[in-house]
């Protein structure tokens, strides 16, 4: 508790706060849609988890990192999935699994 969290959330297509029980936000986040085909989105504090563009990698592809999107924002208790996130991260009614590390 307070160090890592494996969990799930239901997408809203609106800004969604995911509370992981942390006090200083997540430094690593892995998210996968579990009710439909989807990518493994990976974010980390080395690349940057900020209130602006957040680079991410897709673990299931060999594509280069994407650097010009704002799908994740910092949250002291965990992380925020933004309303601009695609269906792979935040479709209304979608089910997602995640691993977050503080």
pLDDT of residue 7: 98
pLDDT of residue 42: 97
- For residue 5, the cross-strand partners are 100
pLDDT of residue 43: 97
CB neighbour list of residue 40: distance below 8 Å, 6 or more residues apart:
30, 31, 32, 58, 59, 60
Beta carbons of 43 and 52 less than 8 angstroms apart: no
Rounded-to-integer distance, Cα 81 and Cα 21, Å: 16
pLDDT of residue 45: 92
pTM of the model: 0.94
Rounded-to-integer distance, Cα 73 and Cα 48, Å: 10
Which tens digit of pLDDT belongs to each residue from 41-84?
A: 999 999 889 888 999 999 999 999 999 999 999 999 999 999 99
Rounded-to-integer distance, Cα 56 and Cα 65, Å: 5
Which runs of consecutive H residues, i.e. helices, occur in the chain? 87-90
**At 39, is the secondary structure helix, strand, or coil?**
coil
């Amino acid at each position: 508790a307070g160090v890592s969290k494996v969990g799930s959330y239901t997408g809203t297509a609106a800004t969604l706060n995911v509370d992981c029980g942390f006090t200083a936000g997540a430094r690593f986040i892995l998210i996968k849609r579990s009710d439909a085909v989807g990518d493994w989105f990976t974010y980390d504090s080395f690349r940057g988890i900020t209130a602006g563009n957040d680079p991410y990698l897709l673990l299931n592809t060999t594509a280069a990192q994407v650097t010009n999107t704002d799908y994740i924002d910092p949250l002291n208790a965990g992380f925020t999935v933004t309303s601009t996130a695609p269906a792979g991260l935040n479709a209304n009614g979608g089910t997602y699994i995640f691993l977050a590390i503080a």
